Amino acid sequence: MAEESFLSDEFVSQLTAVGEVDIVVGLPTFNNRDTVQRVVNAILVGLVKYYPRQRSVLINPDAGSKDGTTEAVQAASIPDFRAVLAASPLRTMHVVSARYSGVQGESEALRMVFAAADLLGAKACALISPDLESITPEWIDALVQPALKDGFDFVGPVYQRRRFDGLLVKNLLHPLIRAAYGYQIEEPVGREVALSGRLASYFLGDQSHREDFPGLGAFEWMTTAAMAGGYRVCQAFLGPRVTVSRRSALDLNTTITDVAGSLFRCLELHQSYWIARQKCEQVPTFGFQPVLDLDPVRIDRKRMFQMFSSGVDQLRAVLEQILSPGTLEAIIAVAKLEERQFRFPDDLWAKTVCEFAASYHHSVINRDHLLQALTPLYRGRVSSFILENGRAGSDDVERKLESLRQEYERLKPYLIENWNRNVR
Amino acid sequence: MRELVISNLRGALTAVTGILAEAVPRVLAMIIIIVAGWVIAWIAEFILRRLLLLARFNRLFESKGVTRALSVAALPSPSEMISRIVFWCIWVAFILVGINALGVVALQREVSDFVYLLPQFIVALLIIFFGFLAANFFSRAALLAAVNANSPSPRLVSGFVRFLILLLAVTMALERVGLGRGVVLVAFAVAFGAIMMGLAIAFGLGGRHVARRILERRFAAGGERKEEKDEEASHL
């Protein structure tokens, strides 16, 4: 409640008109008119179909759309679902749109949703992306139920992915979070999540580092903060995630700077938790996950290799400041291999990431520069991963990923040692 | 005649003796002041260095990357640098006092000119120092950006950025101390203009196909840009 002051009077009066609710669904938007109507429809149908007796509200913080997104959100709320609403004639669907300054980033939108959940006394709060093409009403149930009925505080998504899709998550984010925080969470940057009311209130109160996570990092912060705060964490299978977002067109360098930087920052914020954490536990997963071998994503492996190889050559002086001499020598050695013989082994990659995390913590060079220096190395890892698994089936790929995760876990003492050392 | 010569010689000897009698104590005083100044400066430097090390002064700068930047610039750690600066400030002050003690008017004028120039000189040194730091930072930023954009000559781009910033810093520093002010400014303007014009001509004539490709990639829908997007659309 202490954070009410940042909410506009109009927004507060709209919330007051809604009254108490059980479920809050947050839908931050910015120029998403093409997709948002379908997403709103899915959310509303999901709420009516699966939670007919619960009071709910859709909160739509908008960063100043110029294409009529908020109008589309409001228009989608009533006429399309007369048939469904007829089954629950007494229901009123509340849709509240409010503007916020897009300069402050998406974390400001999340803050508004948390504030709404707190003010309205919601028991569960779901966050949904506005650019989804694959969302169905079942997603709402999959996300909300564990938080509303099963006593979980944080519900992360599990997506059905194509082969070689999400390689940054699989090769860096997931294994590092699993090794450090001790939770086997599949999608640490999942943008469809649900929270219990108490966790939403906790996030609302703990906004001291909001500026550190302006973009996608806000979702990583939520995931790791829930783990470090001792909240009950689970995940729900949602299906394939198809979007039309411009975000997906962000260049790889920006993506790595955003998400890897946020994860390293989270490690700094939660260091007292993860350094002491010994065990690694499975995260309960709800929903049915079919075993399907989808077509692989197309990635130009040769170009990746060439950019890795030339990047290592050009950035040697920068990498010398970040990596230990042994690790750098090993990377230089693999960068000199022929393209067909090229391998970036699991242990070398995991060690590289650990040393980057520690160097980030010690600020051995400007942090943005450090994260940019990771990009060519990641390209090398991707190239090697595709070369090794080009003909492998889903099970084989999963086995190899599991071995990579175990490598990260094996290197946790090395990470801690580097983390706690004095600057070289 | 003989007496006159003897009298002149005696007079000269008396004058020289007088000058020596007057100058030797002054020279001795100057030497004593300079030596004492060196001892005091050394003691001050020693004590300050110890105090800064005890206070872990360097750690204050580690997280800001200053220590690393200084080492890259082949400069000592912050505590060492402050200690040395204090040493030199104290000793130079004593040297100036010593020279003043000689009582030579011409030297006193030089000393006063030097004292007048000293602040400008310190400012010029600071400009070069920060220019060096900025050159390091921006050249590394350019190198990383060029590598990640798969540009053909990242080191060339980075070196060029470093050269331009250092050139600017040195020009500003020389202009500050008033050394060949007009010449330096004109030289800088001519050199900078020539480089830019050379680049423009090289890019416009020699690289017009590259320029066209870049423009097409940036503004045309589809094409190579789309291909790159496809490749990098799924890392998250």
| A342 within 8 A of A276, measured Cβ to Cβ | no
Q: What whole-number distance in Å separates Cα of residue B142 and Cα of residue B138?
A: 6
| C-alpha separations of B23 from A79, B20, B27, B30 in Å | 107, 5, 6, 10
Q: Quick one: three-class SS letters along B89-145?
A: HHHHHHHHHHHHHCCCHHHHHHHHHHHHHHHHHHHHHHHHHHHHHHHHHHHHHHHHH
Q: Which of A121-125, B12-16, B213-217 has the lowest mean pLDDT?
A: B213-217
Q: Are residues A340 and A281 in the same domain?
A: no
What is d(CA A330, CA A310) in angstroms, rounded to the nearest whole number? 15
First-to-last CA distance in chain A? 46
Instruction: Give the model confidence (pLDDT) of A358-403 as tens digits.
Output: 999 988 888 999 999 999 999 999 999 988 888 888 788 888 999 9
A98 contact partners, CB below 8 Å, separation of at least 6: A7, A8, A10, A11, A14, A59, A60, A61, A62, A112
Strand, helix or coil for residue A354: helix
CATH code of the domain containing A219: 3.90.550.10
User: Binning pLDDT at 50, 70 and 90, where does residue B25 land?
Assistant: confident
Q: Residue B31's Cα: distance from chain center in Å?
A: 30
| Residue B68 pLDDT level (bands cut at 50, 70, 90) | low
**One domain, residues A280 and A305:** no
Would A183 be classed as within a structural domain?
yes
Residue A28 has pLDDT above 80, yes or no: yes
Query: Is the Cβ–Cβ distance between B31 and B98 less than 8 Å?
Result: yes
> For residue A366, is it within any domain?
yes
**Residue A97 clears pLDDT 80, i.e. is over it:** yes
Nearest neighbour of A166 by CB, restricted to B64, B145, B234: B234
Alpha carbon B117 to chain centroid, angstroms: 15
Q: Is residue A294 part of a domain?
A: no
Which residues from A are below 8 Å from B67, CB to CB?
423
B-chain CB neighbours of A375 within 8 Å are 148
Question: Two tokens at B64?
Answer: 């800001």
Over residues A183-187, the mean pLDDT reads 91
- Residue B74 has what DSSP assignment? T
Residue B67 pLDDT > 90: no
Beta pairing class for A56-62 and A23-26: parallel
A72, A183: one domain: yes
Give yes or no for A365 touching B (CB within 8 A): yes
Q: Which residue of B has its CA nearest to A365?
A: B65
Residues, chain B, total? 236
Cα-atom radius of gyration of chain A, to the nearest Å?
22
Q: In what order do the strands lie in the sheet with A193-196?
A: A94-99, A56-62, A23-26, A124-127, A193-196, A154-160, A233-240, A285-286
Report the pLDDT value the prediction gives residue A1, as an integer from 0 to 100: 46
CB-based contact (8 Å) between B226 and chain A?
A: no
pLDDT per residue as tens digits for the range A309-332: 999 999 999 999 899 999 999 999
Domain termination residue (choose one: A251, A286, A321): A286
A203-227 residue pLDDT tens:
988 877 777 787 788 899 999 999 9
pLDDT on residue A174: 94
**Residue to test with chain A: of B147, B156, B226, B230, most A Cβ within 10 A:** B147
Model pTM above 0.95: no
**Residue B155 pLDDT greater than 50, yes or no:** yes
Does position B71 have pLDDT exceeding 60, yes or no?
Answer: yes
For A68, phi and psi rounded to 5 degrees?
80, 30
Q: Are A273 and A306 contained in the same domain?
A: no
Query: Looking at the structure, do residues A305 and A261 belong to the same domain, yes or no?
Result: no
In a domain, A346, yes or no: yes
The domain of A267 spans 4-286
Same domain, A140 and A277: yes
User: Is A310 found in the same domain as A242?
Assistant: no
Mean pLDDT, rounded, for B186-200: 81
Q: Which one has a higher pLDDT value, A37 or B220? A: A37
ipTM of the complex, rounded to two decimals:
0.84
Helices B105-148/A301-314 angle, 10° precision = 160
Decide if A233 is inside a domain: yes
* Spatial distance between the Cα atoms of B161 and B145, rounded to a whole number of angstroms: 12
Are A122 and A235 in the same domain? yes
Q: Which residues share a beta bridge with A345?
A: none
Answer yes or no: do A232 and A306 share one domain.
no
Whole-Å CA distances, B92 to B38, B75, B84, B87, B128? 9, 21, 12, 8, 21
Please check whether residue B222 touches A, CB under 8 A. no
How many domains, chain A?
Answer: 2
Find which of B143, B226, B232 to mutate to test the A interface (most A CBs within 10 Å of its CB): B232
